[in-house]
A and B are shown apart, each in its own frame.
Chain A
Amino acid sequence: MSSSTTTQTYVPKTRVGKVTDYVDSRVGGSGIVKEFGRKIFPDHWTFMFGEVALYTFVILLITGTFLTFFYDPSMAETHYNGSYLPLRGVEMSVAYASSLDISFDVRGGLFMRQLHHWAALLFAASVAVHMLRVFFTGAFRRPREFNWVVGCVLVILSLAAGFTGYSLPDDLLSGNGLRIIDGVMKAIPVVGTYLSFFLFGGEFPGTMIIGRLYVLHILLIPAVILLMIGIHLFMVVLHKHSQFPGPGRTNTNVVGYPVGPVYAAKAGGFFFIVFGILAAIAAAFTINPIWNYGPYDPSPVSAGTQPDWYIGWVDGALRLMPGTLGDNFDFEFMIPFPWGVNALSLNVLVPALVPAAIVFTLMFAWPWIEAWVTKDKREHHLLDRPRNAPARTGVGVAGIVFYCVLWAAASSDLIATHFLVSLNDVTYWLRALVFIGPVLAFMVTRRIALALQRKDREIALHGRETGRIVRLPHGEFIEVHEPVDDYKRYKLVSFDSPEVMVPKPDENGKISLLDKVHGRASRFFFEDRVAPVTPKELEASHNDHHGEIAGAKDRESIASH
Chain B
Amino acid sequence: MKNFSSSGTTRGRNHFVKALSQRRRHPLAAFALLLMALLVTGGIYAAASTANEAQAQTTTFTANDVEEGSKLFSANCASCHGMGATGSDAAPSLVGVGAASVDFQVGTGRMPLQMNGPQAQAKPVQFTEEQIRQMAAYVASLGAGPSIPSEEILDASEGDSSNGGELFRVNCAMCHNAAAAGGALTRGKFAPSIDGTSEKHIYEAMVTGPQNMPVFSDANISPEDKQDIIAFLKTIEEQGSPGGAELGSLGPVSEGLFIWVAGLGVVIAFTVWLTSRSS
Q: Does B183 contact A (CB under 8 A)?
A: yes
Q: Does B217 contact A (CB under 8 A)?
A: no
Q: Which secondary structure dominates where chain B touches chain A?
A: helix
* Residues in A neighbouring B270, C-beta threshold 8 A: 270, 273-274, 277
Q: Does B244 contact A (CB under 8 A)?
A: yes
Residue among A86, A110, A284, A413 having the largest count of chain B Cβ atoms under 10 Å: A86
Residue among B169, B252, B257 having the largest count of chain A Cβ atoms under 10 Å: B252
Residues of A in contact, count (CB < 8 Å): 73
* Residues in A neighbouring B239, C-beta threshold 8 A: 86
Q: Does A453 contact B (CB under 8 A)?
A: no
* Residues in A neighbouring B241, C-beta threshold 8 A: 286, 289
* CB atoms of A303 and B263 under 8 A apart: no
Q: Considering the chains assembled together, what is the distance between the CA atoms of A105 and B188 in angstroms?
A: 42
* CB atoms of A45 and B251 under 8 A apart: no
* CB atoms of B232 and A423 under 8 A apart: no
From known contacts A274-B267, A286-B243, A292-B236, infer whether A303 and B176 are also in contact, taking CB-CB under 8 Å. yes
Q: Does B190 contact A (CB under 8 A)?
A: yes
Nearest-neighbour CB distance to chain B for A343, whole angstroms, equals 27
Contact count A vs B, C-beta below 8 Å = 202
Besides A125-B263, A299-B170, A416-B184, 9 new A-B residue pairs in contact (Cβ under 8 A), listed by A number: A86-B239, A125-B259, A281-B263, A286-B242, A286-B244, A300-B174, A302-B183, A304-B250, A306-B252
* CB atoms of B244 and A283 under 8 A apart: yes
* CB atoms of B252 and A45 under 8 A apart: no
* CB atoms of A103 and B242 under 8 A apart: yes
In chain A, positions 263-311 with a C-beta closer than 8 Å to chain B are 266, 269-270, 273-274, 277-278, 281, 283-289, 291-294, 297, 299-309
Nearest-neighbour CB distance to chain B for A268, whole angstroms, equals 12
Residues of B in contact, count (CB < 8 Å): 62
* Residues in A neighbouring B266, C-beta threshold 8 A: 277
Q: Does B149 contact A (CB under 8 A)?
A: no
Q: Does A259 contact B (CB under 8 A)?
A: no
Q: Does B206 contact A (CB under 8 A)?
A: no
A-B contact pairs, 20 of them (CB 8 A): A43-B279, A45-B268, A52-B267, A86-B235, A89-B163, A118-B263, A173-B252, A256-B278, A287-B255, A292-B179, A300-B169, A302-B174, A302-B177, A303-B173, A303-B175, A303-B176, A303-B178, A410-B253, A414-B184, A423-B185
Q: Considering the chains assembled together, what is the distance between the CA atoms of A377 and B242 in angstroms?
A: 58
Name the residue on A nearest B233 (C-beta).
A86
Q: Does A114 contact B (CB under 8 A)?
A: yes
Q: Does A553 contact B (CB under 8 A)?
A: no
* CB atoms of A294 and B178 under 8 A apart: yes
Binding site for A on B (CB under 8 A): 118, 161-166, 169-170, 173-179, 181-188, 190-191, 232, 235-236, 239, 241-247, 249-260, 262-264, 266-268, 270-272, 274-275, 278-279
* CB atoms of B242 and A305 under 8 A apart: no
* Residues in A neighbouring B249, C-beta threshold 8 A: 289, 292
* Residues in A neighbouring B188, C-beta threshold 8 A: 416, 420-423
* Residues in B neighbouring A218, C-beta threshold 8 A: none
* CB atoms of B278 and A129 under 8 A apart: no
Question: Which listed residue (B169, B177, B190, B272) contacts A45, Cβ 8 A?
Answer: B272
